[in-house]
Structure 1
Amino acid sequence: MDNSEKADPWSPINYKLHANFVPKLVEHSLITLLSPKPYERILDLGCGDGMLTYKIQESCKECIGIDKSQHMIEEAKLNGCKDVRVVDCEKLIEWANNEGFVGYFDSVFSNAALHWMKNQEAVIEGIAKCLKPGGRFVAELGGFGNVQSVEKSLISALDKRGYNGKDLSPWYFPSPEDYTQILSKYKFSVSNISHFSRPTELPTTISGWVETFGFSFLAPLEDNEKEIVKGEVEGMCRNGAFNSETDKWTLDYVRLRTVAQLSS
């Protein structure tokens, strides 16, 4: 892995090939829940390749997409997004103060991004800073139990090689109770929160999924060992995740969806 990959491990090519289901699964339901209005300013937090940002910007006054990955922001621009920026979402308060976005947005939207942010309190506090009083937060993220089979397999494969697999996990998958507690701490009133299973058929293989999303587990390994680990993970997940009749893999996705309002 070269220095640029270490600094930004996200690959738009891998994302499109192995994970094109991410925006498709929520495109209608989550945006309908957001219900953008023509006069609203909306922040798409963790916008990735901008597929949903593009949809939202068609229905509101202004939509700004932010993401930590330069690679994904470049892809979002190619996908027609008008205003997308490289921002570390765990430093939202600093960004809002510096760029004049304190109390600026009517809504903050996020899909499949928040579970990548370990310092969740900093993120929620930053979201509160960016919203107008009474503004809304509409989000879906991985919930408790999300991709448990592949995460356990990756941890096991890394532990066996002398690494601390749990420490290498980049994910935060909260329960509804835990997430409600954080939101309440920063003066959000939760009007809806749901925790549900969404078994998800992969367009390729678990190995491809690990290549796209499991890069933090693979980072300490040499290239040949990465391939061996991906093969081991597929082997450990095969019984529960592979359908030999369809030749398809299905992962145990669990989602947490929430709608909350910032106190006026």
Structure 2
Amino acid sequence: MEFNKEKTDPWSPTNYKLHANFVPKLVQHDLLTLLSPKSHERILDLGCGDGVLTCQIQEMCKECVGIDKSQSMIEEARTNGCKDVRVIDCEKLIEWINQEGFIDYFDAVFSNAALHWMKNQEAVIEGIAKILKPGGRFVAELGSSGNVQIVEKSLIKALDIRGYNGKELSPWYFPSPEDYKQLLNKYKISVSFISNFPRPTELPTSLGGWVETFGFSFLAPLNDHEKEIVKSEIEGMCRDDAYNSETGKWTDDRVDLKGSTKLKL
């Protein structure tokens, strides 16, 4: 069942594959090892995107449901071979749980590079606590405080000088480990392990391509011509900090938060 479809979908599977193919590769081994799916388990992949990791999890457990707000990314996940993926707004998780009868249903919730796109974290975490079985685990990686701050500051500046409120256009939530642990504990999710760490990541294409793929909320108020100008401006502003003239490669200043938790009995 498709639930909470968006009228407009800013995500492009084509751009994602071209400019951001590093996202699942960065965690393909260590985060899946941390999840350690068992053959008898039911697992929810929250914010599954194009399903690259979802497909792997589905081969390792009894049932894995992938959910994502983006219709186009879910369609791409199906094209990639995922068996059960659905269009669900993760910030309305409780509504979906109640409708489907998924209370205390999953042994684990997994999420990679998705939670920092969800501003209403209270609703997300409350839903995770409700959907997990007693003693179930939550394994996730997301952007942490300081993540992509060079390009975010540049985007905010570029929009501010055009009369927009650049900060309000930012779609991201980048918590510190301490803040996220406090939020998890509020919903009786006991933290086994949580930390953040720098992960500078070389981009497969240009910084402008990254902005087009991930910075669409900043570009949304602009016409096509203005968007191209802003992408060029961002590359100019970030060049000293993010461009290697010897290799011709751009690097984004990622800071990731990774953690594993259990729902208290």
1:1-264 map, 5 Å: 7-264=8-265
Q: 1:58-97 CA distances to partner (integer Å, 9 max, x unpaired)?
A: 1100000000000000000000100000000001111000
Q: 1:6-40 CA distances to partner (integer Å, 9 max, x unpaired)?
A: 71000000000000000011001100000000000
Residues in 2 aligned to 1:143 and 1:55: alpha-carbon distance in whole angstroms: 25
Q: How many residues align?
A: 261
Q: Is the 8 A contact 2:50 2:76 kept in 1?
A: yes
Alignment root-mean-square deviation, CA: 1.1
Residues in 1 aligned to 2:97 and 2:161: alpha-carbon distance in whole angstroms: 43
Q: Which runs of 4+ in 1 moved over 2 A?
A: none
Shift of residue 5, structure 1, vs aligned partner: 9.7
Residues in 1 aligned to 2:104 and 2:9: alpha-carbon distance in whole angstroms: 30
Residues in 2 aligned to 1:130 and 1:7: alpha-carbon distance in whole angstroms: 28
Identity %: 78
Letter in 2 for 1:150: V
Residues in 1 aligned to 2:61 and 2:181: alpha-carbon distance in whole angstroms: 28
Shift of residue 100, structure 1, vs aligned partner: 1.3
Q: Residues 199 and 146 from structure 1, CA distance in 2 versus in 1: closer, same or farther, beyond 3 angstroms?
A: same
Q: 1:229-252 CA distances to partner (integer Å, 9 max, x unpaired)?
A: 000000000001000110000110
Q: Is the 8 A contact 2:6 2:70 kept in 1?
A: no
Residues in 2 aligned to 1:123 and 1:24: alpha-carbon distance in whole angstroms: 25
Letter in 2 for 1:131: L
For residue 251 of structure 2, give the secondary structure of its aligned residue in structure 1. Answer: strand
Q: 1:111-141 CA distances to partner (integer Å, 9 max, x unpaired)?
A: 0000000000100000011100110000000
Q: TM-score w.r.t. structure 2 length?
A: 0.97
For residue 7 of structure 1, give the secondary structure of its aligned residue in structure 2. Answer: coil
For residue 76 of structure 2, give the secondary structure of its aligned residue in structure 1. Answer: helix
For residue 163 of structure 2, give the secondary structure of its aligned residue in structure 1. Answer: coil
Residues in 2 aligned to 1:237 and 1:178: alpha-carbon distance in whole angstroms: 29
Q: Is the 8 A contact 2:108 2:138 kept in 1?
A: yes
